[in-house]
């Protein structure tokens, strides 16, 4: 029985790390880079555009910076100082996180693009997904999802950067 549980646990862990897919390029240019500017674009929140969602959920405008901060803070933890993501407009590289969808439960589906100073695409990672929360208001579920997805992104970036060394 223990072997079966261990096998299932290993299978689930390996599936979650394989969910992200490097679509284009390489994150090798980030080796030795300390600061990476990070931008987030929200395409669809609960099936609505960000503008429509902000009309529907009045607290969105004041909570959005906190959501972005949760995401970036959690992404930096697994990166362990390999690079530091944040608001660094003068950085040589920008990591653009496109949030394709946030479900009612706070589940995220994101694509990540690495851009150089001229906004040329250097690498693209798709399918960065994670679950949201289990209970709370819509914004609390979105915040939980930001934390979980940020962690997934950090793990995926760490793997890509280390693979490129």
Alpha carbon dihedral 123, 38, 126, 150, in 10-degree steps, equals 140
* pLDDT, one tens digit for every residue, the chain (165 residues): 544 433 444 444 444 444 577 777 888 899 989 999 999 999 999 999 999 999 999 999 999 999 999 999 999 999 999 999 999 999 999 999 999 999 999 999 999 999 999 999 999 999 999 999 888 888 899 999 999 999 999 999 999 998 876
pTM score: 0.83
Q: What are phi and psi of 49, to 5 degrees?
A: -65, 165
Is 142 within a domain?
Answer: yes
Question: Residue 61 belongs to what domain range?
Answer: 20-164
pLDDT confidence of residue 1: 54
Is 116 within a domain?
Answer: yes
Is 9 within a domain?
Answer: no
Is 2 within a domain?
Answer: no
Is 60 within a domain?
Answer: yes
Give the ranges where 40-120 is alpha helix by DSSP (H). Answer: 50-56, 60-79
26 alpha-carbon distance from chain centroid = 17
Is 115 within a domain?
Answer: yes
Number of domains in the chain: 1
pLDDT confidence of residue 62: 94
Residues 164/83, Cβ–Cβ less than 8 Å: no
Is 159 within a domain?
Answer: yes
pLDDT confidence of residue 63: 95
What pLDDT digit, counting tens, does each position of 131-160 carry? 998 888 888 999 999 999 999 999 999 999
Is 12 within a domain?
Answer: no
Percent of residues in the chain assigned helix, strand, coil, to nearest 5: 45, 30, 25
Alpha carbon distance 27, 86 (integer Å): 17
């Amino acid at each position: 029985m223990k072997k079966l549980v261990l096998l299932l646990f290993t299978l689930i862990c390996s599936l979650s790390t394989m969910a992200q897919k490097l679509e284009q390029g390489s994150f090798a240019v980030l080796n030795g880079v300390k600061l990476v500017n990070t931008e987030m674009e929200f395409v669809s929140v609960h099936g609505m555009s960000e503008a429509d969602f902000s009309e529907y959920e009045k607290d969105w405008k004041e909570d959005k910076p906190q959501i972005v901060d949760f995401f970036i803070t959690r992404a930096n933890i697994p990166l362990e100082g390999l690079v530091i993501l944040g608001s660094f407009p003068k950085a040589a590289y920008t990591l653009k996180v496109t949030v394709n969808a946030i479900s009612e439960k706070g589940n995220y589906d994101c694509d990540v693009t690495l851009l150089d100073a001229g906004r040329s695409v250097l690498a693209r990672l798709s399918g960065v997904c994670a679950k949201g929360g289990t209970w709370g208001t819509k914004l609390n579920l979105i915040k939980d999802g930001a934390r979980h997805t940020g962690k997934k992104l950090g793990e995926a970036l760490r793997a890509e950067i280390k693979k490129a060394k």
